[in-house]
Amino acid sequence: MNKSILKKLSFGTSVLLVSMNALSWTPSPTPNPDPIPDPTPCQDDCDFTRGPNPTPSSLEASTGPYSVATRSVASSVSGFGGGTLHYPTNTTGTMGAIAVVPGFLLQESSIDFWGPKLASHGFVVITISANSGFDQPASRATQLGRALDYVINQSNGSNSPISGMVDTTRLGVVGWSMGGGGALQLASGDRLSAAIPIAPWNQGGNRFDQIETPTLVIACENDVVASVNSHASPFYNRIPSTTDKAYLEINGGSHFCANDGGSIGGLLGKYGVSWMKRFIDNDLRYDAFLCGPDHAANRSVSEYRDTCNY
């Protein structure tokens, strides 16, 4: 058979097959859309969400969702006056670290409420005493930094109960009175993710107008040691409006209003935990407790200011 006949047969067969396929063709279903691609690795403002969805009652409870273990830190340690490590035991992965320092003349016991409170919500916390009760805010700022260094070194060690637990890029501080002044001074640098100065006391020059660290100032309305009008309020106002910040004033509170929780422990927990979760963990679920609602509707709050939305 010659080549021209083969070509005709081949062409005819192709036409026949196409025609038969056309007769039996039915529309194929619309394909599902392409799946959402995996997110790129965390680079900036990452979400380190940990724990169940927060509620007012869960934040105001005496403890958070995690069990807490402690370990004493000897006063002979270099850089600060010793203290206590508080860390979660029933969660995994790295977490932020927070150092807490007291004020003039007082020891760790005056602020140790904050250790288990914050640790039970997923942070490694060290509550410390200062080297001397007379140490000024600048010294307490340095000691807060040394306490964070200690926690990081413990996390980097193989024989520590917090081995491998700390994310060194997510650090925070809490300070009361002169310790609050120290917290503000340390926040003036670029090391911290969050700071909470409580009834802060500071005299002399400062760089609070350079603070970019998200800062929650907790003030005590009737403070006669670090009066609101001379310390907490102007310190808050000096922090740039471009910085994420808030001012929580405790109604009728003395200089000690936010040390041990007491009758307002739930309120302190709600705002203190929410601040650290929002800015150390970048957990947007906590915005609801820091922005929006009428904070002063709570009789324990005499004034609230903020730069929301964060």
pLDDT in tens, 185-210: 999 999 999 999 999 999 988 999 99
Weakest-pLDDT range from 47-51, 61-65, 132-136: 47-51
Identity of the amino acid at 112: D
pLDDT tens sequence across 218-262: 999 999 999 999 999 999 999 999 999 999 999 999 999 999 888
Q: Does the active-site annotation cover 223?
A: yes
Query: In the numeric block, which tokens belong to residue 36?
Result: 């959402």
Rounded percentage of the chain residues whose pLDDT exceeds 70: 85
Question: Dihedral (C-alpha) 162, 163, 164, 168: value to the nearest 10 degrees?
Answer: 70
Per-residue CA distances from 217 to 115, 183, 279, 303 (Å)? 18, 10, 14, 11
Residue 174 in any domain: the answer is yes
Q: How many residues does the chain have?
A: 310
Residue 205 in any domain: the answer is yes
Alpha helices in 223-264 (DSSP H): 232-238
Catalytic-labelled residue, pool 86, 121, 255, 295: 255
Number of domains in the chain: 1
Catalytic-labelled residue, pool 177, 193, 274, 302: 177
| Rounded Cα gap, residues 50 and 69, in angstroms | 18
| Rounded Cα gap, residues 169 and 193, in angstroms | 8
Residue 30 in this model has a pLDDT that exceeds 80:
no
| Rounded Cα gap, residues 243 and 256, in angstroms | 27
Residue 174 in this model has a pLDDT that exceeds 60:
yes
Residue 39 in this model has a pLDDT that exceeds 50:
no
Residue 150 in this model has a pLDDT that exceeds 70:
yes
Mean pLDDT of the chain: 88
Model confidence at 263, in pLDDT bands (50, 70, 90)?
confident
Q: What pTM value is reported for the model?
A: 0.85
Residue 302 in any domain: the answer is yes
Residue 119 in any domain: the answer is yes
| Rounded Cα gap, residues 153 and 151, in angstroms | 5
Residue 68 in any domain: the answer is yes
Residue 22 in this model has a pLDDT that exceeds 80:
no
Residue 144 in any domain: the answer is yes
Residue 51 in any domain: the answer is no
- For 234, other C-beta atoms within 10 Å of its C-beta total 12
Mean pLDDT over residues 267-278, rounded?
Answer: 97
The CATH number covering residue 69 comes to: 3.40.50.1820
Q: Is the dihedral of CA 96, 153, 201, 131 positive or negative?
A: positive
Model confidence at 300, in pLDDT bands (50, 70, 90)?
very high
Catalytic-labelled residue, pool 112, 223, 244, 281: 223
Query: In the numeric block, which tokens belong to residue 128?
Result: 């410390």
Residue 280 in this model has a pLDDT that exceeds 50:
yes
Domain that holds residue 89: 56-306
Residue 303 in this model has a pLDDT that exceeds 90:
yes
Name the residue among 239, 260, 250 with its Cα closest to residue 306: 239
Query: In the numeric block, which tokens belong to residue 261?
Result: 């929780």
Residue 245, φ and ψ in degrees, nearest 5: -150, 160
Model confidence at 305, in pLDDT bands (50, 70, 90)?
very high
Residue 37 in any domain: the answer is no
Model confidence at 45, in pLDDT bands (50, 70, 90)?
low
| Rounded Cα gap, residues 27 and 30, in angstroms | 9
